[in-house]
């Protein structure tokens, strides 16, 4: 897979930007994990304060994919923690992006995987 920068994608696709088909992450996301740059085919999930589906997806072989989780931006609880991220690393996921909170930041930072989230909290999902 050829590496193309976000700026190049935006420059080459102004109509897709205007239509909303191509969007860049706002710079509110913090980077976690040992891979600061990651890419791959994207799988998306929409959840709210519940990580059951997230955990189920990360139990599958990642095959270099990136999981993007729309957690609604909730700051009340984490929808991703250290154990599922270790499993994702071991299953070959390239990275995980979370619009919401993560927890176990030190454990995640030790993983050979890319990660971004909008915030962190010690509280687990129920």
Q: Which residues are annotated as a binding site?
A: 81-84, 103-104
**Separation CA 102–CA 51 (nearest Å):** 10
What residues form the annotated binding site for substrate? 81-84, 103
CB-neighbour burial class of residue 57 (10 A; exposed 0-12, middle 13-18, buried 19+): buried
What residues form the annotated binding site for Mg(2+)? 104
**Separation CA 126–CA 122 (nearest Å):** 13
Count of alpha carbons within 13 angstroms of residue 97, beta-carbon side: 19
The long-range contacts involving 8-12, CB below 8 angstroms and separated by at least 24 positions, are none
């Amino acid at each position: 897979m050829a590496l193309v920068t976000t700026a190049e994608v935006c420059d080459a696709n102004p109509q897709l930007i205007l239509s909303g088909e191509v969007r860049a992450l706002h710079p509110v996301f913090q980077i976690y994990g040992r891979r600061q740059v990651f890419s791959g085919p994207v799988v998306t999930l929409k959840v709210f304060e519940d990580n059951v589906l997230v955990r189920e997806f990360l139990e599958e072989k990642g095959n270099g994919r990136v999981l993007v989780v729309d957690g609604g931006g909730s700051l009340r609880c984490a929808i991703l923690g250290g154990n599922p991220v270790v499993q994702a690393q071991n299953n070959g996921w390239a990275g995980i992006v979370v619009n919401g909170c993560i927890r176990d930041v030190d454990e995640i930072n030790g993983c050979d995987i890319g990660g971004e989230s909008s915030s962190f909290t010690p509280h687990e999902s129920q």
